[in-house]
Amino acid sequence: MVFLWILAASLIDSLLAFVGAMSLLLKKGVFEKLIFALVSFAAGTLLAGAFFHMIPESLERIQAMSAFIIVVLGFCAFFIIERILHWHHCHKGLCNVHPVSWLILIGDGIHNFIDGAVIATSFLISVPFGIITTLIIIAHEIPQELGDFAVLVYSGFEKKRALIFNFVSQVACVFGALITYATLRTSETIFLLLPFAAGGFIYIAASDLIPELHKEENLRRSIVSFLLFLLGSGFMLMIKILT
């Protein structure tokens, strides 16, 4: 019975990848404006998710110095990955798909794998605790998945392709849940990925998304994008405080 709860919860979390499907109903002009707004929101949620959720949670299981070393390693790893992807896709000419799209998928895949591990662990403790934990994860996944979808499209993916790849990344939650359930214990090795993913999210937000916001020359739109950035950060902080 616990296995079915874990499987159902992780599958529901995986289906959140399709929240971006609502954009398929929007006109091109409206969607382009929405994309820029969601990129602003995504930058805030990624930074806040790293600093308010992932790093604090890792500090509960890993020594502080070790956790921060892994954060830096994650930051550096994503820098190297981006350089490799940029060379691979762009060394022969114009690059139509920005490497940040692949970084988002890699970072989100790691994060989703860990979410699956947390879901499984919570259900192994008790079903009510598992349900509460799943609802908390879903609460912070919805804005993040909308933001991730926006970043994928903004960086060059077609909408349908972005939905498919975002779903593939989200399915990592199921694998994290099943592997954790199969081992019947909380593996500390799994939670070493938490600060690593946090470093990657910090890199993506600071090196790829925020610079895109600086390209907006209209003062009013720049202020709106900054407010959306604060809104994304504030939303993640609110979830942390309430939980």
Helix axis angle, 193-203 relative to 100-125, nearest 10°?
A: 150
Residue 91 DSSP class: T
Alpha carbon 67 to its chain's center: 19
The 10s digit of each residue's pLDDT in 94-109 is: 455 556 677 778 878 8
**pTM for this entry:** 0.71
Looking at residue 8, its pLDDT comes to 93
- pLDDT exceeds 70 at position 189: no
- Report the pLDDT averaged over residues 64-86: 87
Predicted local distance difference test score (pLDDT) of residue 88: 47
pLDDT in tens, 113-123: 888 888 888 88
Cα Rg of the chain (Å, integer): 18
Residue 51 confidence (pLDDT) above 90: yes
Please list, in sequence order, all residues whose beta carbon lies within 8 angstroms of the beta carbon of residue 66, skipping any fewer than 6 positions away. Answer: none
What mean pLDDT do residues 122-138 have? Answer: 81
Would you state the pLDDT for residue 72? 96
Where on the phi/psi map is residue 156: left (φ > 0), alpha (ψ -120 to 50), or beta?
left
Q: Where are the domains of the chain?
A: 2-19+28-89+96-242
